[in-house]
Amino acid sequence: MESAEIARRFLRFFEERGHKIVPSASLIAEDPTLLLVNAGMVPFKPYFLGQRRPPGSRLATAQKCVRTPDIEEVGKTTRHATFFQMLGNFSFGDYFKAEVIPFAWELLTRSESDGGFGFPEDRLWATVYLEDDEGYDIWRNKVGLPAERIQRRGLEDNYWHMGVPGPGGPCSEIYYDRGPEYGREGGPIADEDRYLEVWNLVFMQYQLSQVRSKVDFDIAGDLPSKNIDTGMGLERMAAILQGVDNIYEIDTTYKILDKAAELTGTRYGHDPRTDVNLRVIADHVRTGTMLVADGVMPGNEGRGYVLRRILRRSVRNLRLLGSGDERHMHTLTDVAIGVMAEQYPELKADAPQIHGVIDAEEASFLGTLRTGTAIFDVAVEETKRSSHHAISGAQAFQLHDTYGFPIDLTLEMASEQGLKVDEEGFRRLMKEQRERAKADSAAKKTGNADISVFGELLEKAGKVEFLGYDEIESDTSVIGVLVDGVPVPAAGAGSTVEVVLGRTPFYAEGGGQLADQGVIRTAGAEVEIVDVQTPLAGLVVHRGKVRSGEIKVGDEARAEIDLERRRAISRSHSATHLVHRGFKNALGESAAQAGSENSPGRFRFDFTAAGAVPPSVLRDVEDEVNAVLINDLKVNAFYTSQAEARAMGALAMFGEKYGDEVRVVEIGDYSRELCGGTHVHSSGQLGLVKVLGEQSVGAGVRRVEALVGIDAFRFLARESLLVAQLTEQLKVRREELPERIEGIVTRLRAAEKDLDKIRSAQVLQVAGELAAQARDLAGVSAVTHRAPDGTTADDLRKLALDVRGRFPADRPAVIVIAGVPSDRPVVVAAVNEAGRERGLKAGRLVGVAAKALGGGGGGKDDVAQGGGTRPDAIDDALRQVEQAVTEQLG
């Protein structure tokens, strides 16, 4: 049975039993305590806690999940995956144990032809929590499971919570006996490889306050109602129903694995090490694809780092299979999209963007590997030279930090060289860095506040309503005031504060749009607001300074934004949408937005593109966008469903496309995008858009910067003035300028060349004289000479060689010429063959001179060059060289 069919059956079964089917939420968890959704119930946490009303008392989902704590186990065991799907049915105060257990039994054992999964009854086992007599009784008497196939287990196995404060409760798990060839008799308590857990039924009824470990937590009390949360691993079910040994061989993963084997010319099932590599690739490519599709971008922190690690591990495993610098991620991602699209059709539409992100990360990592490997080799050499057995923690850290080398890569490459790595030192440095970064970002985003403070405020304030689409001034109230991240009842004039309002017209920085600024006034105080952030989804924090009076929690307040700034930012934001559409029109759908920043009068737009964008394309895009301005298209924002927005072809910056309702901003018929930002009313309000140019910001990502409105006009006015000045100076008409300037430049170059020739000739003129004046040092002709300042390094070298060539072959000769081409001294030494036979080495002589000049250098025995920092030491350096010659001649 195919994976997609397993999901369909599960959902249909529960739909027939009164459940509302809810589509999978994004992998990006809304929950501030989690980076990624790691269980089916995560999106429903507020329903369990009674904070929000569920859309029905019975729900069922197939939820995408990512878990990475066991990433090292992937491929080595039969059942560890970083991406998996959890099928679940949920009851919020509706049915409980007595219904959910029989539901599960029925679905598992009902025949396939009858819509079930057709498990033989005698292969199923159940576990219940030690004290759960009720659960035991239902299994034993209501379902009729023999007593010997019901096992009682402790907290470790049969109690479920999120690992953080939240809902929890005892659970009952269902296991499938794969048969004696897979392990020992004796049920799940004896062997969890033979008895595979397929379904976990959680009786969610308590609220946990402190969670110290899986088995050590405090129960704060009962949840508002008794609930059910179940989780069935789709991939494990698929392994059983498809009769394969492990989850990497099921339909959705095997195709990727197979393609990876084909691309790398390896075979699955022949060599255990190759098999692990292939399984890792199959698992990780799928996970990476799903994460990117949900809007995660590779980065160095949080989810971005999870994704980067997964993609880089894929690339590295491909290299371990011998793919070298060949790029296979595109093809593999294609397969992943193909296999997952039956369940997630949006993957097909998003394919160009997904490829854009993954291809760019692959390219950048391959580049990293190339430079990093060179650095790694140096580290190995140093380690061996100093007779150490381990690469230092600092070196491993540098490889990681500067060259993006994952530690496991360093470990592996070191072991190939017979070396170890000081992992402890590495981890210490990593920890220090993380702490620094944490402190930095906390300071930037939240003014040092401990994030839990915001959690409490959010609970108190509820989701803060944003009024700023329609209002620039709003009546509101002060819900919280923080000073140095600590809640205070009031703050007086001069204090730097963070203010939480019940509702606000202030736009918090997000979606590339900079924050509003403005003023919050209460009866007694005025606070100037300079920054607005959302430390937690739904909570808006205004940062600023109390100008006068005292702001108090509970005050009525009036919040007013700086309208000019807002308007200028809105113009930039609308312009960004136009430019986004413009690039897609010009370059194709793979030009996907990878970031943006909308500031007053100026914006920056990053997008995926294979290489530099030619100036002609930039001009076309600019032209098209300005035509849209002139047509003065109406800007319209509305809310609609996810599916509807997609059907309309709305562009999405990944990650903003989930939730039941999405906001679409359309500019006439030209552009349509999911967006939470603020915009102008019609495109004509932008006035003018001027694209300044484009550049690379990392592999596969380009950035354009542009000006909007009066800033664009002023820029063009300045350029125009500049042109006027040039025409005036050069006395030509505007259109003749390029030709005239080209003419001037060509003549200048020719003149410079002539000058160079003359100078060289002059330098060389002295060659004969120098040779004639050579001194005899123990039978060797020695010339030391300081050339006039300004002689180029090239000419110094030519001169040395010219002089050397003037001595007969059997006459040993050494020539040392020094000079100051610009501000630093350079020295060149040349020794002819007869001189070398006498033991003279140019490299050594240059070394002596360069040292005297305060620098370094060296080279071959026949010619060498070096330099230093002290022009005043040239005479001394030449003297030392002569001395060295005498010494070398012994």
Residues at the site binding ligand SER, with contacts judged by CB under 6 A:
39-41, 86, 88, 160, 200, 202, 229-231
If the CB atoms of residues 234 and 853 are measured against ligand SER, the closer one turns out to be 234
Dihedral sign computed on CA atoms, order 733, 735, 740, 741: positive
135 CB-near residues (< 8 Å, 6+ apart): 97, 101, 128, 129, 170, 172, 203
Structure tokens at 299: 């980065």
If the CB atoms of residues 87 and 864 are measured against ligand SER, the closer one turns out to be 87
If the CB atoms of residues 236 and 328 are measured against ligand SER, the closer one turns out to be 236
If the CB atoms of residues 227 and 784 are measured against ligand SER, the closer one turns out to be 227
- Other beta carbons within 10 angstroms of residue 459's beta carbon come to 10
Secondary structure in 3-state letters for 594-616: EEEEEECCEEEEEEECCCCCCHH
Shortest approach of ligand SER to residue 307 CB, angstroms? 22
Name residue 418's amino acid.
Answer: G
Shortest approach of ligand SER to residue 234 CB, angstroms? 12
Residue 28, phi then psi, degrees to nearest 5: -75, 115
If the CB atoms of residues 200 and 504 are measured against ligand SER, the closer one turns out to be 200
Shortest approach of ligand SER to residue 350 CB, angstroms? 27
Residue with tokens 């857990």: 197
If the CB atoms of residues 172 and 252 are measured against ligand SER, the closer one turns out to be 172
Residue with tokens 């020539």: 815
If the CB atoms of residues 21 and 519 are measured against ligand SER, the closer one turns out to be 21
Three-class secondary structure of residue 165 per DSSP: coil
If the CB atoms of residues 231 and 835 are measured against ligand SER, the closer one turns out to be 231
Shortest approach of ligand SER to residue 202 CB, angstroms? 5
Evaluate whether 823 touches 808 at the Cβ level (below 8 Å): no
Shortest approach of ligand SER to residue 420 CB, angstroms? 38
Evaluate whether 568 touches 601 at the Cβ level (below 8 Å): yes
Rounded distance between C-alpha atoms, residue 48 and residue 55, angstroms: 12
If the CB atoms of residues 229 and 666 are measured against ligand SER, the closer one turns out to be 229
Rounded distance between C-alpha atoms, residue 127 and residue 200, angstroms: 10
Residue nearest to ligand SER (CB): 231
The DSSP annotation for 608-651 comes to: E-SSPPPHHHHHHHHHHHHHHHHTTPBEEEEEEEHHHHHHTT-B
If the CB atoms of residues 88 and 866 are measured against ligand SER, the closer one turns out to be 88
Shortest approach of ligand SER to residue 38 CB, angstroms? 8
Shortest approach of ligand SER to residue 218 CB, angstroms? 19
Shortest approach of ligand SER to residue 232 CB, angstroms? 8
If the CB atoms of residues 104 and 575 are measured against ligand SER, the closer one turns out to be 104
Rounded distance between C-alpha atoms, residue 85 and residue 67, angstroms: 11
User: Taking the CA of residue 778 as centre, how many other CA atoms within 13 Å lie in the half-sphere pointing to its CB?
Assistant: 13
Shortest approach of ligand SER to residue 23 CB, angstroms? 17
If the CB atoms of residues 86 and 829 are measured against ligand SER, the closer one turns out to be 86
Rounded distance between C-alpha atoms, residue 591 and residue 138, angstroms: 57
If the CB atoms of residues 168 and 812 are measured against ligand SER, the closer one turns out to be 168
Pairing of β 701-708 and β 661-667: unpaired
Rounded distance between C-alpha atoms, residue 857 and residue 866, angstroms: 4
Shortest approach of ligand SER to residue 339 CB, angstroms? 24
Rounded distance between C-alpha atoms, residue 879 and residue 883, angstroms: 6
796 CB-near residues (< 8 Å, 6+ apart): 787, 817, 818, 819, 821, 826, 827, 828
Shortest approach of ligand SER to residue 162 CB, angstroms? 8
885 CB-near residues (< 8 Å, 6+ apart): 777, 780, 782, 814, 840, 845
Residue with tokens 């004289």: 769
If the CB atoms of residues 197 and 666 are measured against ligand SER, the closer one turns out to be 197
Secondary structure in 3-state letters for 31-79: CCCCCECCCCCHHHHHHHCCCCCCCCCEEEEEEEEECCCCHHHCCCCCC
DSSP H/E element including 781: strand 780-786
Shortest approach of ligand SER to residue 216 CB, angstroms? 19
Shortest approach of ligand SER to residue 158 CB, angstroms? 11
Rounded distance between C-alpha atoms, residue 43 and residue 26, angstroms: 9
Residue with tokens 């020719």: 750
If the CB atoms of residues 41 and 818 are measured against ligand SER, the closer one turns out to be 41
- Rounded to 5°, angle at Cα 702 from 698 and 708: 135
Shortest approach of ligand SER to residue 555 CB, angstroms? 43
Shortest approach of ligand SER to residue 86 CB, angstroms? 6
